[in-house]
């Protein structure tokens, strides 16, 4: 796992010396306390503005387990990580993430759960549409909460237990991934893009990704301009597994305060938009863009942010 300026060689000797210094002796700082976790999370920050940590407990078959994790990332964020070529490998695509659990999970099932979870979390975020060369997410399961005579969680032996673990891991990974977007370089808004009514999950995910990476959509969000035409244009630019019928497409803003959504496009026809209310919704720090394709039953979510002047400044000055 590495991060920083691409092409710069890591000072491995210095890193190894630092690990040894932090691991032994009276001045060691590594450990299981929250302070130790926070120091570790801060240690691999680059342009991040805050350390990103999460922890939770969950129950499978009446037994309680724990999960904890940390990640980093704020810019050059658009992961597209896939399963390893060999069973001993790890997921690759500069976002770094590490998740740990005390559940005992068979290696094949742990890999299967991670692949599923990453696709619906870290592979569903974008700050600037730029994929790094070395994004990495790992999950470690030490089985400390499981007695020696108890069987591992395995998708073939106990599909229901595995499904529960997989969904817990997915939800946890999504929480961590969203922290990266909330810390996006120069971001002023956290935006959930929901695409529904697609023929396949891949179709829904592709459309959500396209909207989330559109520079025109992201700059309109920063300018608090309810320009739904840019959302529709991004939607229509993605080839789908079934023909898109424009007369079935709906676009709306969904406020996060529980009030009713604001329709912008209904069955392909523009709505008379209440610009005052649209401004109120889009000026919030959190908002949702919802697109209904009307040609299927599958859905997907993506999390993104706006493009601000500060983003340009941060990346224009990155090496200076």
Tell me if 72 is assigned to a ligand binding site: yes
Choosing from 94, 192, 194, 213, which is the catalytic residue?
94
Tell me if 123 is assigned to a ligand binding site: no
What gap in Å lies between CA 136 and CA 209, rounded to an integer? 20
Tell me if 46 is assigned to a ligand binding site: yes
DSSP H helical ranges for the chain? 12-23, 34-43, 107-119, 159-182, 201-213, 215-222, 228-236, 275-282, 309-316
Tell me if 63 is assigned to a ligand binding site: no
Residues 256 and 221 sit within 8 Å (Cβ to Cβ): no
CA-angle at 97, arms to 180 and 65, nearest 5°: 110
Tell me if 315 is assigned to a ligand binding site: yes
What gap in Å lies between CA 263 and CA 251, rounded to an integer? 6
Residues 145 and 103 sit within 8 Å (Cβ to Cβ): yes
- Single out the residue of 121, 133, 93, 135 nearest to residue 303, CA to CA: 121
Question: Is residue 94 annotated as a catalytic residue, yes or no?
Answer: yes
Tell me if 267 is assigned to a ligand binding site: no
- Residues tagged active-site: 94
Binding residues are 46, 72, 94, 185, 315, 320
Binding residues for substrate are 46, 72, 94, 185, 315, 320
């Amino acid at each position: 796992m590495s991060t920083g300026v691409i092409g710069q060689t890591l000072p491995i000797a210095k890193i190894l010396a630092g690990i040894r210094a932090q691991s032994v002796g009276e001045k060691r700082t590594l450990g299981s306390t929250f302070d130790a976790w926070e120091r570790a999370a801060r240690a691999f920050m680059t342009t991040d503005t805050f350390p990103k940590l999460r922890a939770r407990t969950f129950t499978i078959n009446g037994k309680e387990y724990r999960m904890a994790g940390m990640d980093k990332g704020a810019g050059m964020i658009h992961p597209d990580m896939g399963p390893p070529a060999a069973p001993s490998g790890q997921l690759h695509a500069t976002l770094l993430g590490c998740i740990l659990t005390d559940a005992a999970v068979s290696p094949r099932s742990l890999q299967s759960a991670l692949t599923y979870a990453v696709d619906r979390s870290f592979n569903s975020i974008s700050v600037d549409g730029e994929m790094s060369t070395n994004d990495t997410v790992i999950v470690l399961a030490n089985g400390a909460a499981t007695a020696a005579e108890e069987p591992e969680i395995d998708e073939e032996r106990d599909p229901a237990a595995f499904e529960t673990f997989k969904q817990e891991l997915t939800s946890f990974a999504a929480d961590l991934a969203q922290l990266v977007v909330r810390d996006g370089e120069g971001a002023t808004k956290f935006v959930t893009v929901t695409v529904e009514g697609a023929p396949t999950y891949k179709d829904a995910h592709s459309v959500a990704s396209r909207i989330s990476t559109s520079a025109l959509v992201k700059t309109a969000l920063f300018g608090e301009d309810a320009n739904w035409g840019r959302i529709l244009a991004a939607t229509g630019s993605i080839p789908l597994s079934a023909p898109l019928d424009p007369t079935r497409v709906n676009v709306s803003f969904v406020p996060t305060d529980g009030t009713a959504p604001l329709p912008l496009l209904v069955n392909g026809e523009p709505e008379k938009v209440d610009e005052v209310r649209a401004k109120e919704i889009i000026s919030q720090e959190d908002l949702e863009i919802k697109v209904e394709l009307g040609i299927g039953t599958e859905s997907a979510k993506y999390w993104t942010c706006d493009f601000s002047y500060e983003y340009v400044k941060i990346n224009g000055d990155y090496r200076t």
